[in-house]
Structure 1
Amino acid sequence: MTATVLDPSTVAKQYRAEVRASVEARGRAPRVVGLLSQEEGPAATYAHYATRGASAMGIDMAVRQVAPAEVVAAIAQANLDPEVDGIFLYYPLASRAEDRWLRELVDPRKDVEGMHSYWSRLLYENRRYVDDEQTQRAILPCTPLAILKLLHEAGMRGTGEEAPLQGVTACVINRSDIVGRPLSAMLANDGARVHSLDLTGSVVFEPAIGRRAHDVRESGVTRAEALAQADVVITGVPSSSFELVRADEIREGAICVNVAEVENFDESILERASVYVPRVGPLTIAMAMRNLVRLAATREA
């Protein structure tokens, strides 16, 4: 078996077209303010590509270079500016603890990343809509959402009738608040069983079958056991010292997704996986801009 390499840019095209059509129908280009504190590195690179991607969808994105001490004031200014439809934070802006707090300062109605606790609470409670009438969909975090779209494109399907991903077992190596934790919750809310691994150990996200939302419990599952069981493997470890996932660790035909800016998979997995996704960035930007259009439409309704 030789894995199919899935290019996220190809998948992103349909969503960029969808966003572009929504922007054209709206009659005014939505405006996003991005806040960046680093002049170079992954965050600066991401800001460059996000700005270019937004422009291609007809969206006005302005990235502002701010010192860590200026971020709070910059967020407040963007929150109050009626011409600003969305706010994008490029991490790290300060320390990890401070960045978590800064996310809470963004007005949820302008949170294109879907990282504010208002949206996180809906996600972890598996509430798909904001209102009882189900007219406004909840905003989902853009990177985990992009990963789910790529997994669907790669052929991830459930085998049961109670939930779309019933019968799927996933291994997510990353439990950050930005990627791994929300992704595991989203997979489990759709019926998958998820082994979540990080430096502190492993937990399992039990599927939301027979209950409103997923459940999380401690687990003694090892890396070897989790990888051997997984139909889907997603890694997001931002360290070159991470022990690469090898072909002999994964199931034949597994779908593998690399989220980190460094490679987490050994090239041997191409001989055993069915589909390999080397990056997710282009689709993440499309999902963020789709969130933007939905937020802007709700605010103007």
Structure 2
Amino acid sequence: MQLLDGKALSKKIEEKVASDVKELKSTCGCTPGLAVVLVGKDPASQAYVNMKKKACDRVGFYSITHEMPETISQEAIEKSIIKMNNDSSIDGILIQLPLPSHIDTTKLLELVTPEKDVDGFHPFNVGRLTTGLDGFVPCTPLGVMDLLKEYNIDVEGKNCVVVGASNIVGKPMASLLLNANATVEICHIFTDDLKKHTLAADMIFVGVGVINLIKEDMVKDGAVVVDIGINRAQNGKLVGDVDFERVSKKCSYITPVPGGVGPMTIAMLLSNTLKAAKANALKLKEAQV
């Protein structure tokens, strides 16, 4: 068994992004900018946003967090997003989820201009991913693909089971695997006999938020297991959706939690924001010609 070390790879990606930022600044005077919308005081959301801010600082991005009260109106958030869409210093816009129940999340995600949608949640970018065209891809599944590539794990022709069908992880994960010529099966809360599906899988990708959902008897020998889940156990320890201690004895590769997929998510956010900044710099250069 070998660990898929997302923490180590994320550091390599950060170093490359920081190098590219320096080059971008020297060639066109452009500094990549990321704006985050944070509504309310959810501790987990605040922690994630803080980690993203620190990562931006490390690579030399300009970043700003728009902190908004839990009671803010839909209209007020929409006005803020429109303002960011028109702000040339902002290359990427991220809306930290989940939002309060009175807010129409879909409407806000669709309001972000696709060229600044570094989370890859806008229907325009979702459509481009589904059809195999270039665009912005949700950071977590994109990070998983980079992690597999780092360890020379080829998904082509492999039987891949994705457990979880969320718009943020499961569906884009399945699309990326399908685009890479894997045979893909998506399982979810209504799937009958999950074990039957996972036992036949060469690779299992799970992200549903259920501690120890994937157990030793659900995984065949030599399988690749990617644990995208992150949960806090009763003892306060961070754990994934896989019974790591037992499953790791059977598989060929497995991601730890923490230190696996998590760091890759933030690394891909930096990568997507840099991609947006380079595209904007190119537009600016072409406009000046």
TM-score (ref. length: structure 1) = 0.81
- What's 1:187 paired with? 177
Do the aligned residues in 2 keep the contact of 1:42 with 1:261 (CA within 8 Å)?
A: no
Q: Distance in 2 between matches of 1:20 and 1:293?
A: 9
Structure 1 residues without counterparts, runs of 5 or longer: 129-137, 158-164, 202-220
Quickly say closer, same or farther: Cα 1:32–1:93, change in 2 above 3 A. same
The aligned counterpart of 2:270 is: 289
Indicate if the aligned counterparts of 1:170 and 1:193 stay in contact, CA closer than 8 A: yes
Q: Distance in 2 between matches of 1:96 and 1:43?
A: 17
- What is aligned with 1:106? 112
SS in 1 for 2:205: strand
Which residue matches 2:142?
A: 145
Q: Deviations over 1:259-297 (max 9, x none)?
A: 122121112101111222134121111111111111112
Query: Which one of the candidate residues 115, 121, 129 is aligned to 2:127?
Result: 121
For 1:138-217, list aligned pairs within 5 A. 138-157=135-154, 165-201=155-191
What residue number does 1:217 align with? none
Give the structure 1 partner of residue 32 of structure 2: 30
Root-mean-square deviation (Å)? 1.9
**Cα deviation per residue 1:178-214 (whole Å; 9 max; x = unaligned)?**
110011011011111112111133xxxxxxxxxxxxx
Preserved CA contact (<8 Å) 1:151 1:255: no
Matches within 5 A, 1:1-301: 3-27=1-25, 28-67=30-69, 68-69=72-73, 70-95=76-101, 98-128=104-134, 138-157=135-154, 165-201=155-191, 222-240=193-211, 244-262=213-231, 263-266=240-243, 267-278=245-256, 279-301=260-282
Deviation string for 1:136-173 (max 9, x for gaps)? xx22221110011122234422xxxxxxx332111111
State percent identity of aligned pairs: 27
**Shift in alpha-carbon separation, 1:7–1:38, aligned structure 2, 3 A:** farther
Unaligned runs of 5+ in 2: 232-239, 283-289
Between Structure 1 and Structure 2, the one with more helix by share is 2
Structure 1 position 96, deviation (Å) = 9.8
**1:212-244 C-alpha deviation (Å, 9 max, x unpaired):** xxxxxxxxx73112111111111111245xx52
Aligned partner letter, 1:281: G
Q: What secondary structure is seen at the aligned counterpart in 2 of 1:281?
A: helix
SS at match of 1:271: coil
Distance 1:299 1:152 in 2: 28
CA distance in 1, matches of 2:150, 2:40: 34
Letter of the structure 2 residue corresponding to residue 18 of structure 1: K
2:33–2:277 CA contact under 8 A, matched in 1: no
Determine if contact 1:154/1:255 at 8 Å carries over to the other structure. no
* 1:233 partner SS: strand
Provide the rounded CA distance (Å) in 2 between the counterparts of 1:258 and 1:85.
31
| 8 Å contact kept, 1:23–1:58 | yes
Work out the number of aligned pairs and report it.
Answer: 262
- Partner Cα separation in structure 2 for residue 155 and residue 95 of structure 1: 42
Indicate conservation of the 8 Å contact 1:146/1:283, yes or no: yes
How far apart, CA to CA, are the structure 2 residues paired with 1:35 and 1:233?
33
Conserved? CA contact 1:154–1:275, under 8 Å: no
User: Given residue 34 of structure 2, which amino acid in structure 1 is its aligned partner?
Assistant: V
Question: Following the alignment from structure 1 to structure 2, what is the Cα–Cα distance between the partners of residues 39 and 71?
Answer: 16
Structure 1 distance, partners of 2:40, 2:140, is 20
Give the distance between the partners of 1:172 and 1:43, measured in 2 at CA.
25
CA contact (8 A) 1:34 1:89 kept: yes
Report if aligned partners of 1:4, 1:275 keep a CA contact under 8 Å in 2.
Answer: yes
